Amino acid sequence: MKRPRFKIHTKLAVTYLVVIAIILLLINSQVIRALEGNYLADQEAKTLANANIIALAGQDYLLSENEQTISFIKQYSEQMQSRIIVLDRKGKVAADSFAEEWLEERSLTFEEVKLALKGQEKTGVHELKNGERVLYAVVPIIRDEKTAGAVMLVTSLEEIYADLEGIRRLMSFYSTVGGLAALLVSLLLAAHFASPINRLAAAVRRVSEGHLDQRVSINSKDEIGLLAEDFNDMAAKLEEADRTLRHFLSDASHELKTPLSSIKVLSQSLIDSQEQDPAVYRDFLQDISSEVDRMAALVNDMFQLAKLQDPDHSVSFNDYLVGELLRHIKGLTAGEALQKGIDIQVQVGSDGEVLWQLNKDLFTCIFLNLISNAIRYTPRGGLVTVTADIEEDSLVVRVTDTGIGISAEDLPRIFDRFYRVDEDRNRETGGTGLGLAITRQAVHCHGGTIDVKSKPGQGTTFEVRFPKHQSYPAI
């Protein structure tokens, strides 16, 4: 049997690790995103507040372009650690705390500036050419209830993103440590969970190699425990089926060996004999023919039993008059009964007839066997009674004889294949030892049951129950 390339506990551990890693990545990203949003929101609120302070405090002279304006915005720029740019009503730079010449008289067209010149406060995050991320906060300068210009604060966000990067590294470190711990726990849990599966797989391999006595002890109440119970049941049934098959083959070989030995002895006697009398040869050939008939009957019964036990063997059912069928069977056994002076009586229902859904051939097989057995083991002048009636929604047919009876120790085994209560006497009566096994299987094909009650010297009663109309499975 091929070994798996990847063991199940490895797959489980990898699955656990992947799931945990995905969860940690999602949590980390959400936490970092939430922190970034909070930091930026705080910075935006702080920067807007500073911009409004500048706009209110210097609304009378911010746009005058004098030394007082430059001094004012530089002072606030140092205090707020932000670059301050003053814009006129057209968005042109009127003053810059950094005093960069390239920016003088230049018009800024950022979305934040456009909205501020329309009287709205606005912030936005931008990335400069050098890669630095900054926050633009632009508020209008109101003079005489009109927008006269705008104040723009440019604040670096690198410190915030540096803090976020530190938090991200710390979370990655702890996530890695947690992931490794989770991997170790996953391996242990996976090994624990996979252990019963591995034991079950090993038992399956042993069964496939022919060791049908294998059983798995798994006490869990989950699906694996149920699977183990089903496996044990299956193994027990396979073991019983194997034992039954071995016994059947042994018994069948034994049963076939006897007539074959007789045929061999009789044939050899004819070969070695110097007898010239045709009558002697005729007697020998009649004995050989009798043994051949006995073998043919045995093979036929074996075939019939195998067919009834085939799961694919389908059985059809139709409505039949039970009394009519039983009287027909009585007619088939009348000759044998007449030779022994045995009376057969058939009684059906209170009205003399019962209609029931049956398989005619199997029904005939059942009661032909039971009535023939009753005749065979009932002394001359005895009585065989067959009764049929409806009891508790079932058709109950009983075959009772006044024969020799069956001992208590033999009763449990009389339906076993090739089992004989009296080996020598049964061979003399011509039975194959399969009649009652076939009978029981034919009853099971009807979904029914068969029971027997008997005492030595007091006769025997076989009771067969056929359930009410239903769809019967093939057995």
Answer whether CATH 3.20.20.140 is correct for domain 318-467. no
Torsions phi, psi of 5, nearest 5?
-65, -35
Write out the two tokens for 154: 């440019």
- Kindly report the pTM of this predicted structure: 0.49
Confidence of residue 183 (pLDDT cuts 50, 70, 90): confident
Least confident of 139-148, 379-388, 392-401: 139-148
User: In the predicted model, is pLDDT for residue 97 greater than 50?
Assistant: yes
pLDDT tens column, 350-380: 777 889 999 888 898 889 889 999 999 999 9
For residue 471, name the pLDDT band (cuts at 50, 70, 90): very low
List, as own/partner pairs, every contact residues 254-259 make where C-beta atoms lie below 8 angstroms and the sequence separation is at least 24, other chains included: 254/418, 255/298, 255/418, 255/432, 255/433, 256/295, 256/298, 258/427, 259/291, 259/292, 259/294, 259/295, 259/298
Name the most confidently modeled range: 97-111, 183-197, 255-269, 288-302. 97-111
Q: Is the pLDDT of residue 26 over 50?
A: yes
Mean pLDDT of the chain: 80
289-326 pLDDT tens trace:
776 766 666 566 566 556 666 666 677 889 999 999 99
Phi, psi of 335 (to 5 degrees): -60, -45
Q: Is the pLDDT of residue 138 over 90?
A: yes
The ranges assigned to domains in the chain are: 8-162, 232-309, 318-467
Mean pLDDT throughout 283-287? 74
Query: In terms of CATH, what superfamily is 8-162?
Result: PAS domain (3.30.450.20)
Query: In this structure, which topology does domain 232-309 adopt according to CATH?
Result: Helix Hairpins (1.10.287)
Q: List all residues 6 or more positions away from 363 whose beta carbon is below 8 Å from its beta carbon.
A: 320, 325, 442, 446
**Chain centroid offset of residue 393 CA:** 37
Lowest mean pLDDT among 365-379, 423-437, 456-470: 423-437
Higher pLDDT, 113 or 8: 113
Which pLDDT belongs to residue 397?
A: 93
Can you tell me the mean pLDDT for 154-183? 87
Residue 424, pLDDT > 60, answer: no
Q: Three-state secondary structure along 290-357?
A: HHHHHHHHHHHHHHHHHHHHCCCCCCCCEEEEHHHHHHHHHHHHHHHHHHHCCEEEEEECCCCCCEEE
Q: Do domains 232-309 and 318-467 have the same CATH topology?
A: no
